[in-house]
Structure 1
Amino acid sequence: MTQSVVVQVGQCGNQIGCCFWDLALREHAAVNQKGIYDEAISSFFRNVDTRVVGDGGSISKGKICSLKARAVLIDMEEGVVNEILQGPLRDVFDTKQLITDISGSGNNWAVGHRVFGSLYQDQILEKLRKSAEHCDCLQCFFIIHSMGGGTGSGLGTFLLKMLEDEFPEVYRFVTSIYPSEYHLYPLFLIASLLMFFPRKSLFDIISKIDLMVNSGKLGTTVKPKSLVTSSSGALKTRHKKPFDAMNNIVANLLLNLTSSARFEGSLNMDLNEISMNLVPFPQLHYLVSSLTPLYTLTDVNIPPRRLDQMFSDAFSKDHQLLRADPKHSLYLACALMVRGNVQISDVRRNIERLKPSLQFVSWNQEGWKTSLCSIPPVGHSHSLLALANNTCVKPTFMELKERFMRLYTKKAHLHHYLQVEGMEESCFTEAVSSLSALIQEYNQLDATKNMPVQDLPRLSIAM
């Protein structure tokens, strides 16, 4: 059985991570009601209860044995981590696997990357190695962070380079939240796979749900403690933790992404298979994701979507967790991760139904990867996570470059970064150059749309 380690960096990374662990525990508790430490639980949790001897042991009172998350928590401000340690999940995290400071990175990428990266490099490496030692077969690292601020972005990118150097054979799955389009840093050329979510896109999804609640389309059965909506149907942006609902959506995506690693299925997909099948070129590892249903029935009580409608939703622009419309762009590959009592014949039927409306690159017309996990999310009959490597991400990168250049030509805020020792202006020019090259590679692919195979140019994308 393979195991994975989650590395939560910065305030946003730790908040999303905490939500993921909460949902994962609820899901395992619903499935494993006898409290047995089995392979499914061991994929993301380790048993530290000495009363249980070996796998398959159980403890008294029918409760799941003492578990510790396979996680490393990092933040240069201790507030969020302290809050987690005082909350209901305090016993889930190993206090020896935490790294905090009190000063913070001052919302400065250079401070997080140059200052705290060097200062905490040895400690971080020690925690990572300790987590790896607790695994029988380490499959991948999940890195959860934000590209805003200083710790999540600066120390997060430093961590990625460290993982590449120290664990080159272990896949690196990056979940990155973009609070705005103004941030431009070296864009994870060393990640195995990157799923990024502009916060504005997540907020738009929550707004749509809120609109449906207020219009009565979801009925009146909104649960009082919903993460998506408050008891009155109002967005929780007016409450103490404005990003809870958005964090919940990302955490649910991670829950579905890891379902095959945690539960049985007739056609389970290893996490490394996602990268192997969806990333034909190392640089083009940015995935567009869609999840249906977007919220769990622990949030809103609504009738389940019909199976065929669920597949249609997954390819509509309204269900993308990025402002994009993949149907009008070029697919390099696509993975469908289905949960619940769904047959492979149902999946194949829907693929054949949708294929005429989707355009794949000429050399990968059958670029589909399918996963069937028999355990559905709590409260659902089935769910679907679609991951697409699609050129529709190009406009996001173009807008990112345009906004950055607008500031960079005015030298706006540049001094905040250059005053940090080791930070040079060449870092910015190199980042722009890398981003321009990435956009050009997507342009090359888009230019092949509707072109006969014999006329296709040789792509210059480096392998």
Structure 2
Amino acid sequence: MTQSVVVQVGQCGNQVGCRFWDLALREHAHVNKKGLYDEALGSFFRNVDSSKCDGEAHSVGGRIQHLKARAVLVDMEEGVVNEILQGPLREMFDSTQLLTDVSGSGNNWAVGHMTYGSAYREQIVDTLRKAAEHCDCLQCFFLIHSMGGGTGSGLGTKVLSLLEEEFPEVCRIVTSIYPSAEDDVVTSPYNSILAMRELTEHADCVLPVENQSLVDIVKKIKHMSHSGKPGTVIRRESAIISGQGGLVGAEKPFDAMNNIVANLLLNITSSARFEGSLNMDLNEIAMNLVPFPRLHYLVPSLTPLYTLADVSVPSRRLDQMFSDAFSKEHQLIRADPKHSLYLACALMVRGNVQVSDLRRNIERLKPSLPFVSWNQEGWKTGLCAVPPVGHSHSLLALANNTCVKSTFMELRERFSRLYRKKAHLHHYLHVEGMEQGHFSEALSSLSSLIEEYQQLDATKGRLVPDAPRLRIAR
């Protein structure tokens, strides 16, 4: 049995992570009616006898004693973590899994990465090791963080580099929340570009999620629910409006957005948590979808959208679900994959879907999807038997597609507008260890990444003798 550890860094990372644990528990409770500690639960939870002070895993007759999430929670402001510890999920985390401070990173990548990264290095490594020691066969680290703030971007990417250093053989899959152009953190372009270099160098796979895409999806779902059409009422206890996700206090505007990201994580981990006729090993994602180490940004797409909202609409044809997965309206970043080049694609299906359904839809869609010439059969598929609670099926598509370059180019432009004026630069250069060269190196790294995607687009993926070679070494 393999296990994975979820590492949540910063306010956003911890809020999304908390939502993931809440929804994951719902899924397991729906399937595991007898309350037995089985392999499915063991993949992301450990079974602890709460009467034992040493906290070691213990089980009596296979019954659940006390579940602890295989998680590490890091934040340099203690507010969100304290909310979690006062909420309904408080028993799932103990002090050995938490690392907090009180002052925060001031929306400054350098403070998170260098100041806190240095001060807390040993404690971070110790906390990660303890989480790893509770695993019999550690398969993957899932890191959740945002790119716009100081702790998520700075300390989040510091944690990522420590994961590579301490556990080089363990896969590192990162879910990164990218700020919108109207982000209220004025320094978010700096933080994002500085973090991008670390993601490119140290992650095995990155799942980029744009805040604006989440806003658009939530608006669309709520519009559906208020349209007045028969059968489009959101059920009272649906994931999209239950909101609090293990936190205390009133529902916040971004709770619904966090639910969408949590559903992305539920889908990508479903084959590790449940049985299926065609289960996809998490290590296979990087192995099959990343032909060049730096080009490991995978565009996520979820369908049907009403699964996220539990909107009661008439059942749509299965084929429509596959078609939707390749439309820009269902992607978690704003880009058009059909006018860009596919390097590879994974389809992770949950529920009552047959292998023949998968094959038929791949053959149907292939003519309209431009794949690189040397990987025309670059499809990876997974079938998990357990669907999301209350639904018959769902689909997560992960596309290694050159369309991500538009997101990166927009980010680079926002960075350049600030950097040309040297606006707010002094806040970073006052941090010990931070130099102006870090900015130029980060910008160069991103420009090189964009150029590699553009080169593939220009040649349609063909190997052209005079074209500069893609960088395949780290």
The 1:418/1:456 distance shift into structure 2, 3 A limit, reads closer
Q: Does 1:4 align with 2:8?
A: no
Shift of 1:56: 8.5
Match of 2:240 among 207, 214, 228: 228
Per the alignment, residue 235 of structure 1 pairs with none
**Structure 1 runs not aligned, ≥5 long:** 232-238
Q: Quick one: distance in 2 between partners of 1:160 and 1:400?
A: 21
Shift of 1:457: 4.9
Q: Does 1:203 align with 2:215?
A: yes
What is the RMSD of the two structures over their aligned residues, measured on CA atoms?
2.1
Per the alignment, residue 78 of structure 1 pairs with 78
Shift of 1:98: 0.3
Task: After superposition, give the CA deviation of every residue in 1:178-198 in whole Å (9 maximum; x if it has no partner).
Answer: 123523214112100000111
Q: Quick one: distance in 2 between partners of 1:440 and 1:251?
A: 32
**Structure 2 runs not aligned, ≥5 long:** 182-188, 244-249
Task: After superposition, give the CA deviation of every residue in 1:398-432 in whole Å (9 maximum; x if it has no partner).
Answer: 11111111110100111111111111000000001
Match of 2:224 among 212, 216, 237: 212
Q: Matched residue pairs, number?
A: 451
Per the alignment, residue 67 of structure 2 pairs with 67
The 1:426/1:91 distance shift into structure 2, 3 A limit, reads same
Per the alignment, residue 357 of structure 1 pairs with 368
Per the normalisation by structure 2, the TM-score is 0.91
Per the alignment, residue 305 of structure 2 pairs with 294
The 1:295/1:46 distance shift into structure 2, 3 A limit, reads farther
Per the alignment, residue 234 of structure 1 pairs with none
Which residue identity does 2:393 align to in structure 1? H
Q: Quick one: distance in 2 between partners of 1:186 and 1:243?
A: 23
Task: After superposition, give the CA deviation of every residue in 1:215-264 in whole Å (9 maximum; x if it has no partner).
Answer: 23473532234453589xxxxxxx74111000000000100100000110
Q: Does 1:369 align with 2:367?
A: no
Q: Does 1:280 align with 2:284?
A: no
Which residue identity does 1:45 align to in structure 2? F
Where do residues 153-302 of structure 1 align in structure 2 (5 Å cutoff)? 153-180=153-180, 182=189, 183-187=192-196, 188=199, 189-217=201-229, 219=231, 221-229=233-241, 240-296=251-307, 299-302=310-313
Q: Quick one: distance in 2 between partners of 1:458 and 1:32?
A: 54
Per the alignment, residue 36 of structure 1 pairs with 36
Shift of 1:357: 0.3
SS in structure 2 of the partner of residue 359 of structure 1: coil
Per the alignment, residue 126 of structure 1 pairs with 126
| Conserved? CA contact 1:297–1:379, under 8 Å | no
Task: After superposition, give the CA deviation of every residue in 1:88-128 in whole Å (9 maximum; x if it has no partner).
Answer: 10111122210011111111111111111111111110010
Q: Quick one: distance in 2 between partners of 1:297 and 1:404?
A: 33
Match of 1:307 among 318, 321, 329: 318
Q: Quick one: distance in 1 between partners of 2:236 and 2:212?
A: 25
SS in structure 2 of the partner of residue 273 of structure 1: helix
The 1:298/1:411 distance shift into structure 2, 3 A limit, reads closer
Which residue identity does 1:376 align to in structure 2? P
Q: Quick one: distance in 2 between partners of 1:118 and 1:295?
A: 44
Q: Does 1:57 align with 2:93?
A: no
Which residue identity does 1:449 align to in structure 2? K
Task: After superposition, give the CA deviation of every residue in 1:163-192 in whole Å (9 maximum; x if it has no partner).
Answer: 111111111110011123523214112100
Per the normalisation by structure 1, the TM-score is 0.93
Per the alignment, residue 107 of structure 2 pairs with 107
Q: Quick one: distance in 2 between partners of 1:297 and 1:408?
A: 39
SS in structure 2 of the partner of residue 371 of structure 1: strand
SS in structure 1 of the partner of residue 346 of structure 2: strand
Shift of 1:303: 3.1
| Conserved? CA contact 1:72–1:128, under 8 Å | yes
